[in-house]
Amino acid sequence: MSKDAFLLTAEGLHKSYRMGSTQVKVLKGVDLAVKKSEFVAIVGASGSGKSTLLHILGALDRPNKGVVTFEKRDLSRFSSGELNRFRNKTVGFVFQFYHLLDELSVLENVYLPAMTGRSVIGWFACRKWAKNRARELLAQLGLAERAGHKPYQLSGGERQRVAIGRALMNEPTLLLADEPTGNLDSAAGNGILEILGRLNGAGQTVVMVTHDERIAQRAERIITLVDGKIEHRHTK
């Protein structure tokens, strides 16, 4: 398949961290390509580098070496402003520990990306739209009644659904989920996976990181990461 057909590509990604006096190599030359509307699961044991890879793909981190392109544009050539806009508009993140702002209500957490990407005047101009969109998302995620609650008043599954709502707020091209069920019981986890599956069914590109092979089976393509290298690719 031509390289142009991919939404996201990564070539020769290397990443290392300094831990005390030692240099820990996390990624050791990862190549990856994701097509539009694809559901890709990256599987690996703890410490295999899968979360680091996801952060690099979402421009939350930079590789020491290698290139990430999104819609044929090299992310390393983005200015910091372009990277911020990329994280705000193009990518949506879902984290294992939900990462919601405790000071904001559920509704405010969902429309946070719409607020951070706009000036005060811009925000007032689109506030109605943003609130409606956030309410719609919460309704789709089964949280319509929880809009006014604070994150700490919700269960783990509900919080993760709020995090998905936030990730979808600006209608991102790419949804990146880092162990989205890792902190949930199986019922809540299944609910989240169903939502991700439903979103993918509606055309949303999803890249999910998990250590659980069974969860990864929900994706249409599974990439196995071992010690910072892709060891196995499996397409259903």
Residues numbered 13 to 72 that lie near other proteins (CB under 8 A) are 17, 24, 26, 46-47, 49, 51-52, 55, 58, 60-61
The Cβ of residue 175 has, within 10 Å, a number of other Cβ atoms equal to 23
What does the angle CA 179 – CA 16 – CA 75 come to, to the nearest 5 degrees?
75
Q: Which of 68, 95, 200, 215 binds other proteins (CB under 8 A)?
A: 95
The DSSP code sequence of 76-121 is: GGS-HHHHHHIIIIIEEEE-TT----TTS-HHHHHHHHHHHTS-HH
Where does this chain touch other proteins (CB under 8 A) — which range of 64-72, 91-99, 199-207, 215-223? 91-99
CB 116 → other proteins: shortest distance, Å? 5
Q: Which of 1, 81, 152, 214 binds other proteins (CB under 8 A)?
A: 81
Closer by beta carbon to other proteins, 4 or else 103 = 103
Terminal alpha carbon distance of the chain = 17
Q: Which of 118, 131, 135, 234 binds other proteins (CB under 8 A)?
A: 118
Note whether 229 binds other proteins by CB under 8 A.
no
| Separation of alpha carbons 89 and 71, rounded Å | 14
Note whether 161 binds other proteins by CB under 8 A.
no
